[in-house]
Amino acid sequence: MDLKRELRLLDVFCIASGAMISSGIFILPGLAFARTGPSVFVSYLLAGLFALTGMISTIELTTAMPKAGGNYFFTTRSLGPAVGTIAGLLSWFSLGLKSAFALVGMSAFTALIIPLDINLTAALLCVLFVVLNLIGVKEASRFQVVLVLVMLGLMVVYTTVGFASVSVLRLDPFAFRGVEGVLSTAGFVFVSYGGLLHVASVAEEIRDPKKNIPVGMIISLVIVGIAYSLVVLVTVGILDAETLSQSLTPISDGAQVILGTPGMIALSIAAILAFVSTANAGLLSSSRYLFSLGRDQLLPEFFTAVNRRFHTPHWAVVVTGAFMIAVLFLPLEVLVQAASTVLMLTYILSSLSVIVLRESRIVTYKPSFRSPLYPWLQIIGGIAFTVLIFEMGIVSLLITLLLIVIGFLVYLFYGKRKSNAEFALMHLVQRVFNEMPFLENRKITTNQLESELRHIIHDRDQVIEDEFDRLVHSATVLDLQGPLSDAEFFVQVAEASAELIGLPAERIEQLLRQREQLSSTVLSDFLAVPHIVIPGEQKLSILVARIKHGVSFAGSNANVRAVFVIFGTRDHRNLHLKTLASIAQIAYHPSFEELWMGAASNDDLRNILLLGERKR
């Protein structure tokens, strides 16, 4: 059963923002200040720029494959099921742990106002969020929208009122450890931007993902990045250095100074809302990793069960909620560092996935958003994240390595025997083989991945196949070397189409010659559309041909490389004209010639037509 598309642009923005605004702003500023001094707000800005490099790649991949499971799904389709299984389980672990940590933080802030047991409060709230996510993503997202808007409103009030009390003298000395300290602190606070990945995991439930995913994620990063920097700047300017460097509640402490006790309570409430928001968004998104792993048969099938009434993956939600409750009672400090390392590793895999998918030249890889500055943005981002990962320390690296080994063992002993999925890295290897004379005939790929991506794009764009699509599916496809004359070409067309249309090859060749003598069917230097009337009723079919070194038609200087031959009866005149119009719209697109000549197989040629831009 499919998941419902109910998330709007505002929901996308709030899922990403709600997952980001949490401990990164309400707990970390004091610890980060101790590392670099007043320049800490610059570190937050730099961390946002680092996150941007990974987010751009994630947006491209998510708009091409808006499916549940986010980075797991597109990592599997690009780098293979082994790497995908590891990435999916690591992301599930990281997001679930981050959400559990948010519940603990929320309970700690609650204890400042109302004395309650922290772990018990966190567990009860986790149960509440499980129920919300079982009822439906729409209901969970509505709750998320309210939380984020209230939280941002309180942060605006804090910043606006606080600027009047900022002392410039508190900004000196600006950076305790110079540029090195600013950069290392940027890595320390990078986890503050981890929530951007939440959107990718619920992409299958987003309306109009072509627009709402890139717009929602970019707006979220810009607004949250600015809010982080301004809130931290105000806090640095109103608290003395000693107090700030030792505080685990720096924003509430700042509110106490400028707004008194009511302000402290209000910002503590904002912190609580932030932790609640992060926990809710984390449960919503991390459960989709288990769902997607189960759907690809890399985890047991029961994870794919979708509630018939609410259309939510109930077992995936319940298991994720149980995991979050379990880790509430474990020491989290080192594990949270490991979660941060995993998030950066995820960005590295996203950058690598973009490179592999683009260089494999799969024609059905059609993101609605393409990363600018390719491939330099991916290369620079990958190097930056690698450096930051090693800055996290040996313990978090060892824990991450252990989790990678566990993920690989799950694939080795369960997923491998059930998965035969094709992935883009195979196509990249196939492309290398095709360029080597002694390996050019070795075939290691099929049309499996291209077909899956085409169906995803049709679902994304809500495409309903029409008569032209059915003609393309049943069309004969010729991939010829050439060069050929029109007479030589017509002989091959007649032989290939005789059985399909039920006429002798000699008669078909004769009709094609007669039609060409009446007037040229060459429409451009690249395209020709010969068409003949055949006897009978209710018949229409096409033949698709690529001639790599061209075919020359009499009376034309064009060296045609794309030819579409239409065979139809007189009673299908209207459909004939519609087919001709569809071919023209696709073939006159600026990218058509490059795609056509770069296609690696007959299936690629067919997919170019099935995914071509035209009016339906």
Which of 37, 20, 40, 348 has the alpha carbon at shortest distance from 188?
Answer: 40
Residue 199 has a pLDDT of: 78
Task: Output the six-digit token pair for 466.
Answer: 């029409």
Q: Within a 13 Å sphere around the CA of 270, how many CA atoms are in the beta-carbon half?
A: 27
Measure Cα distances from 395 to 64, 286, 545, 573 in Å.
36, 24, 59, 72
Which of 608, 89, 548 has the alpha carbon at shortest distance from 345?
Answer: 89
Maximum distance among all Cα pairs of the chain, rounded to whole angstroms: 95
DSSP letter, residue 570: G
Task: Output the six-digit token pair for 430.
Answer: 């196939």
Q: Which residues touch 300 (CB under 8 Å, ≥6 apart)?
A: 294, 414
Cis ω before 313 (30° cut-off from 0): no
List own/partner pairs for 307-312 with CB under 8 A and 24 or more apart: 307/134, 308/1, 310/134, 310/135, 310/136, 311/1, 311/2, 311/3, 311/4, 311/136, 312/3, 312/133, 312/134, 312/135, 312/136, 312/137
Phi, psi at 559, each rounded to 5°: -110, 85
Measure Cα distances from 236 to 182, 190, 218, 567, 590 in Å.
15, 19, 27, 76, 53
Whether 79 contacts 353, CB under 8 Å? yes
CB-neighbour burial class of residue 75 (10 A; exposed 0-12, middle 13-18, buried 19+): buried
Phi, psi at 222, each rounded to 5°: -65, -50
How crowded is residue 43: how many other Cβ atoms within 10 Å of its Cβ? 28
How crowded is residue 282: how many other Cβ atoms within 10 Å of its Cβ? 30
Burial 571-581 (b: 16+ CB within 10 A, else e): ebeebbebbbe
Whether 354 contacts 378, CB under 8 Å? yes
Domain 9-414 has CATH 1.20.1740.10: yes
Distance (Å, whole) CA 130 – CA 127: 5
User: Which residue(s) pair with 532 in the sheet?
Assistant: 567
Residue 343 has a pLDDT of: 78
Domain residue extents for the chain = 9-414, 464-610
Q: Which pLDDT tens digit goes with each residue over 50-88?
A: 888 888 999 999 899 888 667 778 888 899 888 988 888
Sign of the Cα pseudo-torsion (355, 356, 359, 365, in order):
negative
Task: Output the six-digit token pair for 27.
Answer: 């707990």
Q: Which residues touch 34 (CB under 8 Å, ≥6 apart)?
A: 245, 246
Q: What distance lies between CA 63 and its chain's CA centroid? A: 6
Residue with tokens 């990218």: 591
Domain 464-610: assigned CATH number? 3.40.930.10
pTM of the entire structure?
Answer: 0.81
Whether 282 contacts 291, CB under 8 Å? no
Cis ω before 483 (30° cut-off from 0): yes
Whether 450 contacts 604, CB under 8 Å? yes
CB-neighbour burial class of residue 142 (10 A; exposed 0-12, middle 13-18, buried 19+): middle
Given a cut of 70, the residues of the chain with pLDDT beneath it are 1-4, 68-69, 108, 110-122, 126, 132-144, 277, 281, 307-312, 330-337, 392-393, 418, 437-442
Task: Output the six-digit token pair for 199.
Answer: 């959107």
Distance (Å, whole) CA 97 – CA 333: 11
Angle at 69 (CA atoms; ends 68, 72), nearest 5 degrees: 145
Q: What distance lies between CA 347 and its chain's CA centroid? A: 11
